[in-house]
Amino acid sequence: MSFTIKTHLEPVQSNKVKKTEYNLIQVKGTWKCKVGKNFSQNLKGCVSAAKISESTTERGTSWTVVSPIVFTYKVIQSQGLLDPSNDTLLLGHIRDPQQLETMRSSTTPLRRFVVIDEIVYNLYGRQLIDYLQAFNAVYRILPLPTTEENKSMELAMKILEEVHKFSLDRRTEPIIAIGGGVCLDIVGLAASLYRRRTPYIRVPTTLLSYVDASVGAKNGVNFADCKNKLGSYIPPVAAFLDSSFLQTVPRRHISNGLAEILKMALMKHRGLFELLEIHGSFLLDSKFQTQGLQGGDSDAASVCTRLAIETMLEELAPNLWEDDLDRLVDFGHLISPALEMKVLPSLLHGEAVNIDMSYMVYVARERGFLTEKEKIRIISCMVGLELPVWHQDCTLAMVKQSLCERLKHSGGFVRMPLPTGLGNAEIFNDTSDETLYKAYVRWCDELSTKPPHIPNREHIIDVVQ
């Protein structure tokens, strides 16, 4: 911009709008707006990715700032996170090899603030303390009762008070969160707020958080009796995934996590679906502890977790802040929020998701997107994973009400992800009331009995639709 000061400008015609686009160049510590792309060769300076455009009318001037902020974060699978020979927990988030070397060889003790779910602390607290002491770290461990009921701003503020007392240097001392989804969400929010942004690390200890909560940006707390009404989209600097935590997770909670893995399989990955179909029981029994046992990563547990993460990352990375409302990862999440809240605490999150998915499979079948055989295979798989496929509180009224809410909050479209084959899906906005009704009746007929009446698939001859 040329800044010659004029106290009188040429009179501007009423409809004349003068528009200029600027790049921003930094020379000797000062940023300046420059027009055009051909910068003088003498101006050796940094060019910003941010841009300013200026528009002048007789009413005044307006500027539009376009500024990209790049989020970079690591998701690292590791074995033995609490083994003192493994420094991932303390240094795994560092991306620059030189910085890593400096930290490794430094004699200054590392400082870490760790928030850990109470129950997880009872099981792993000793190991954690031993680990931190082995590194001569200066630490503060804060065990908290992280339940859905506690998931509030009060708890986040409590964490902030303790973080503040610890006197954290946010550039070198990321906060570490160890626990299930609730714990990771609350700590994530507290960290996002502290000094406007403090780096944090997620260590998921349940299967659900391993495949879901740990790899995205979202964090939050409940507010005014609504789930996750307050929060942010600030991702952690890193998530460390160690499946050995899963061995102390109850069987029901392993099923719970498998529901989210199944979701990704149904939406995007036939191979993952077949793996769950064939090895689901085994994974449940072994609690994913066979990972890497025989060397290599081709065992069912390793493949399963890897595919679950990859498919999640594929869908989350391009839409980190959910600006695009068409989201395949919403499958199983249109009706389940209402169901989950209604019967709280009798259904776990993944169980509610599965019931939603189960119904949606019937909707997909009704619309001819799935064959009868495919439908049966999916439901059988769900049952094999010991997940509920029906619930009496999931009424047609609840379905309709939920879809109405969805419409309201999604810019007027229902954006319903539906499977269009095994491991394929699309988003639909035009499912009729009649279809919903017919699917619902069939869903109840076939699945409301205990055990659910799933026709033997060998006897079904697929009719090509």
Partner 1 sequence: MAVYPGTEFSLQQVNGTWTRQVGQCEKAGRVSASKILESKSEHGHTWTVVSPIVFTYRVIQCHNLLDVGNDTLLWGHIGDQEELKAIRRKSQPIRRFVAIDETVNHLYGLQITQYFEARNVVCRILSLPTTEENKSMELVTKVLEEVHRFGIDRRSEPIIAIGGGVCLDVVGLAASLYRRRTPYIRIPTTLLAYIDASVGAKTGVNFANGKNKIGSYIPPIATFLDRSFIQTIPRRQISNGMAEMLKMALMKHHGLFEILEKEGRKLLDSRFQSSDRTSLDDHEDDASVSTRIAIETMLEELAPNLWEDDLDRLVDFGHLISPELEMKVLPALLHGEAVNIDMSLMVYIAHQRGLLTVEEKARITKCMLGLELPVWHQECSLALVQRALGNRLKHSAGCLRMPLPTGLGCAEIFHDISDDVLCQAFQRWSDELGVRQQNINTNNAGKEFQRDDHNRR
CB of 222 to partner 1, least distance (A): 12
Q: Which residues 294-353 are close enough to bind partner 1 by CB under 8 A?
A: 297, 302, 306, 309-310, 313-322, 326, 328
Q: Which residues 251-290 are close enough to bind partner 1 by CB under 8 A?
A: 267-268
Cβ atoms 336, 356 nearer than 8 A: yes
Examine residue 248 and tell whether it contacts partner 1 (CB under 8 A).
no
Q: Which residues 165-184 are close enough to bind partner 1 by CB under 8 A?
A: 169, 171
What is the CB-side half-sphere exposure of residue 304 using CA atoms within 13 A? Answer: 31
CB of 90 to partner 1, least distance (A): 15
CB of 127 to partner 1, least distance (A): 17
Examine residue 126 and tell whether it contacts partner 1 (CB under 8 A).
no
| Cβ proximity to partner 1, 161 vs 285, nearer residue | 161
Q: How many C-beta atoms surround the C-beta of residue 367 within 10 A? A: 18
| Cβ proximity to partner 1, 76 vs 141, nearer residue | 76
CB of 309 to partner 1, least distance (A): 7
Q: How many C-beta atoms surround the C-beta of residue 289 within 10 A? A: 14
Of 3-11, 118-126, 372-380, 430-438, which segment contacts partner 1 by CB under 8 A? Answer: 3-11
Of 91-99, 276-284, 367-375, 380-388, which segment contacts partner 1 by CB under 8 A? Answer: 91-99
Write down the catalytic residue from 151, 218, 263, 375. 218
| Cβ proximity to partner 1, 147 vs 424, nearer residue | 424
- CA-to-CA distance for 318 and 159, rounded, in angstroms? 31
**Which of 280, 268, 253, 265 is CA-nearest to residue 381?**
280
Cβ atoms 427, 417 nearer than 8 A: yes
- CA-to-CA distance for 127 and 123, rounded, in angstroms? 9
Give CA torsion, residues 108, 109, 112, 117, to 10 deg. Answer: 160
Q: Give the number of residues written for the chain.
A: 465
CB of 317 to partner 1, least distance (A): 4
CB of 271 to partner 1, least distance (A): 14
Out of 36, 65, 450, 464, the only residue in the binding site for partner 1 (CB under 8 A) is 65
> Which residue type, as a one-letter code, is found at position 351?
E
| Cβ proximity to partner 1, 146 vs 214, nearer residue | 214
3-state secondary structure 251-316: HHHHHHHHHHHHHHHHHHCHHHHHHHHHHHHHHHHHCCCCCCCCCCCCCHHHHHHHHHHHHHHHHH
Examine residue 355 and tell whether it contacts partner 1 (CB under 8 A).
no
Of 73-81, 117-125, 248-256, 350-358, which segment contacts partner 1 by CB under 8 A? Answer: 73-81
218 catalytically annotated: yes
- Tokens 């529901």, residue located: 259
| Cβ proximity to partner 1, 201 vs 389, nearer residue | 201
Out of 36, 345, 368, 411, the only residue in the binding site for partner 1 (CB under 8 A) is 411
Q: Which residues 10-39 are close enough to bind partner 1 by CB under 8 A?
A: 10-12, 14, 24, 26, 28-33
Q: Which tokens hold the place of 207?
A: 């299967």
> Which residue type, as a one-letter code, is found at position 307?
L
CB of 9 to partner 1, least distance (A): 5
Of 155-163, 330-338, 431-439, 443-451, which segment contacts partner 1 by CB under 8 A? Answer: 155-163
Non-local (6+) Cβ contacts of 55 within 8 A are 17, 18, 19, 20, 61, 62, 63, 64
**Which of 321, 214, 220 is CA-nearest to residue 257?**
214
Non-local (6+) Cβ contacts of 227 within 8 A are 337, 340, 341
Out of 119, 138, 160, 284, the only residue in the binding site for partner 1 (CB under 8 A) is 160
| Cβ proximity to partner 1, 62 vs 346, nearer residue | 62
Q: How many C-beta atoms surround the C-beta of residue 304 within 10 A? A: 22
Q: Which residues 196-235 are close enough to bind partner 1 by CB under 8 A?
A: 196-197, 218, 220, 223-224, 228-233, 235
Mind telling me the catalytic residues?
A: 218
